[in-house]
Structure 1
Amino acid sequence: MKVYRSYEDLPKIRLPLGQEVFISDSTIRDGSQMPGIVMKKKHKIQIYEYLHKIGIEKLETFVYNERDREAVREMLDRGYEFPEVTGWARANPKDIDFVLGMDGIKETGILMSVSDSHVIDKMGLTGRDEAERKYTDALQYAVDHGLRTRAHIEDMTRADNEGFVFPLVEKLLEIDPDCTIRLCDTLGYGLPFPDVDEPYGIPYIVRRLKNTGARNIETHIHDDFGMSIACSIAGYWYGANWSSLTFLGVGERAGNAELEKVAVFLIQRVEGFQKYNLQSVTEFAGFMEKEIGIRVPRNKSVVGKNIFAHESGIHTAGIIKNPFTYEPYPPELVGGKRQLLIGDSSGLEVIRFKVEETLNELMNIAIKVDKSDLRIKAIQAEIQKLYNQEKRVSSISDEELKKYVEKYFMLQPIIDEHSADEINQLENDKGENNPG
């Protein structure tokens, strides 16, 4: 019989192909293109520091202007092994020269748009043949000048992959067999299902890229249809060894697949995967919110303020007895903190627990209180009265609870018979709405 009562009891999954997988961060490059966001040099340096703490393998950055180059120089001067700072260029020698001008950068991505809309309408090229010559010439130029390469195959999920893209990839790999082929799902059209063929099927595309001889395959998935995380993980599942992500999913339009979500999935769910340290990601999210202006929803996975907050009677009772009951991973894994809140759906158990905490703090001794104690019921009755009369739309703060504890446990330690009748009446009125 299988018993799952702790995180250790839960089985972990295995990537079917068993390959080592990595993360390349694009927060400073793609994320900086998010409308309304301006990343100063100090912001980029701090983001680099957080990525270093986590252990992310690579980041990519622009090097077109002096403020970008100043930030890159400072990153390189820190001498960290991870993340490796890599460049980004359009498919022309002048752009690649910017990367070559940055002493210390050994790898660059090269943008290669492949959908007909991008090739003809956006770039103004005559067609696919001209695009192919442009992209292979650019890659050859980078290789000839000693750079490692990534081919950013833009808009692959809206392109003729069999007729144009896969033959192009074969030519790119003839120039650089170690080139990382970045599968760019530019508008989030990709699907993670194995029976979906091109242009939408991420598993199909990854398998076909492997069949072309690609040794390094990377996904770069935008979130326009909300599928970016599923498609990024599907990429790993079917053989990709890299995923290009951004912290908090920042980026153009709906943004990108979130680094913190993919990383916590790998650590918590995949067997033998422990190489990232996520203890700073909650702090990282606070930095992005305060310094750069990225609003973090309270219920956002991994780093939202409500991820380890519990209010309802059933949930708080379960958490108090065994946090595994209602928390998918321990708060400390991501630098979070558990919060037990008292609100309109709270039961006696969480009030008892919070009262005990408050008494221990006030009196500096360990005190146990039973949830059937009339004083606990009196506090609950007063709190519920606020919500019943719609005088309250927020949770009860610790400071407010302290006043209730002082009133009932210090100033009024005995509940008289009249008060007990009132409490019982309020409980009858309340019914069974707040179990626990």
Structure 2
Amino acid sequence: MKAYRSYEDLPRIKLPLGQEVFISDSTIRDGSQMPGIVMKKKHKIQIFEYLNRIGIEKLETFVYNERDREAVREMLDRGYEFPEVTGWARANPRDIDFVLDMDGIKETGILMSVSDSHVIDKMGLKSREEAEKKYTEALQYAVDHGLRTRAHIEDMTRADNEGFVFPLVEKLLEIDPDCTIRLCDTLGYGMPFPEVDEPYGIPYIVKRLREIGTKNIETHVHDDYGMSVACSLAGYWYGANWSSLTFLGVGERAGNAELEKVALFLITRVEGFQKYDLRSITEFAEFMEKEIGIRVPRNKSVVGKNIFAHESGIHTAGVIKNPFTYEPYPPEIVGGKRLLMIGDSSGLEVIRFKVEEALNELMHVGIKLDKNDPRIKAIQTDIQKLYNEEKRVSAISDEELKKYVEKYFMLQPIIEPIGEEHSAEEPNLDKNAG
């Protein structure tokens, strides 16, 4: 009989093909294109530092202007093994020269748009054949000048893959057999289901890329339909060895697949996968919110302030007895902190727990109380009265709870003898308090 009562009891999954998988971060490149966001040099350097702490293998960056190049020079000067700083270019020699001018960059991505909308309408090319010539010549130029390459196959999930894209990829691999082919789901049309044919099926496209001899396959999925993380994981499942992600999913429109979600899934759910250290990512999210202006919803998975916050009676009681009951992973994995809160749905168990904490802090004594202690019940009654009369619209803060503890546990012996059990002044706990 199987019993799942701890994180260690839960089985981990295995990638069917058993390949080693990696992450390439695009927070500084794609993320900086998010409307309303301006990343200064110091921001890019700090993001680089966080990625180094996590252990992300690569990041990509623009090198077109001097402020970008200054940031890249400083990253390179730090001499870190990870993340490797890579470049990005459009499919022309002049762009690639910008990358070549950055001493220390050994790899570049090259943008290759493949949908007819992009080729004809956006780029103004006359035909797919003209696009193919442009892309193969650009890749050849990069290889001839000693760069490792990534081909960013833009808008692949709205392209004629069998008729145009896969033959193009075969020609690219003839030029550079080790070229990483980036499957770009540019508008989030991709689906993670194996039964879905091209152009939408991420599993289908990955399998076809493997069949034509692609050694290195990378997904780059936008989140317009909210499927980016699922599609990125499906890419790994069917044979991709890289995924291009951004922290918090920043990027154009709805953004990209979130690095923190994919990395957490890998280290907590996949067998034998422990190479990323996520203890700094809650701090990383706070940095992005404070310094760059990315609003992090309270209920955002992995790094939201509510991820380890518990208020309802059933949940808090369960977590107090065994955190595994209502927490999918321990807070310390992501640098988070458990927060037990008292609100309108809280029961006696969490009040008892919080009162014990308050007594320890106020009186420096370790004490165990019964949740049916009349003083605990009196505190619950007072708190529920606030919500019943709709005087309160927020949780009770720790400081406010201390006032109740002082009243019922420290002042009570003084006021009871004069028959004024509730004569002590009520704590100021209206909706504006705290």
* TM-score range relative to shorter protein: over 0.9
Shift in Å, 1:137 = 0.2
Which amino acid is the alignment partner of residue 149 of structure 2? T
Any idea what SS the aligned residue of 2:112 has?
strand
Report the equivalent of 2:58.
Answer: 58
Any idea what SS the aligned residue of 2:153 has?
strand
Cα deviation 1:376-427 (Å, max 9, x = unaligned): 000000000000011011000000000000000000149979x9999xxxxx
Which amino acid is the alignment partner of residue 399 of structure 1? E
CA contact (8 A) 2:157 2:199 kept: yes
Unaligned runs of 5+ residues in structure 2 are 423-434
Distance 2:76 2:420 in 1: 69
Report the equivalent of 1:431.
Answer: none
CA contact (8 A) 1:408 1:414 kept: no
CA contact (8 A) 1:154 1:184 kept: yes
Distance 1:420 1:57 in 2: 67
What's the TM-score, normalizing by structure 1?
Answer: 0.95
Cα deviation 1:242-297 (Å, max 9, x = unaligned): 00000000000000000000000000000000000000000000000000000000
Unaligned runs of 5+ residues in structure 1 are 423-436
Any idea what SS the aligned residue of 1:86 has?
strand
Shift in Å, 1:173 = 0.1
1:16-415 alignment runs, 5 A limit? 16-413=16-413
Cα deviation 1:70-124 (Å, max 9, x = unaligned): 0000000000000000000000000000000000000000000000000000000
CA contact (8 A) 2:412 2:421 kept: no
Structure 1 stretches of 4+ moved >6 Å: 414-417, 419-422
Shift in Å, 1:361 = 1.1
Any idea what SS the aligned residue of 1:182 has?
strand
Distance 1:366 1:342 in 2: 21
Any idea what SS the aligned residue of 2:239 has?
coil
Aligned residues: 422
Distance 1:30 1:241 in 2: 20
Which amino acid is the alignment partner of residue 318 of structure 2? G
Shift in Å, 1:158 = 0.1
Cα deviation 1:26-63 (Å, max 9, x = unaligned): 00000000000000000000000000000000000000
Shift in Å, 1:127 = 1.0
What's the TM-score, normalizing by structure 2?
Answer: 0.96
Report the equivalent of 2:13.
Answer: 13
Distance 2:416 2:306 in 1: 38
Cα deviation 1:181-230 (Å, max 9, x = unaligned): 00000000000000101000000000000011000000000000000000
Distance 2:148 2:71 in 1: 21
CA contact (8 A) 1:316 1:340 kept: yes
Distance 2:408 2:160 in 1: 73
Distance 2:263 2:174 in 1: 33
Give aligned-pair identity as a percent: 88
CA contact (8 A) 1:139 1:172 kept: yes
Task: Kindly report the root-mean-square deviation, in angstroms, between the aligned alpha carbons of the 2 structures.
Answer: 1.5
Q: Which piece of structure 1 moves more, 361-370 or 129-138?
A: 361-370
Q: Which piece of structure 1 moves more, 175-184 or 356-365?
A: 356-365
Distance 1:238 1:123 in 2: 32
Which amino acid is the alignment partner of residue 257 of structure 1? A
Which amino acid is the alignment partner of residue 269 of structure 1? R
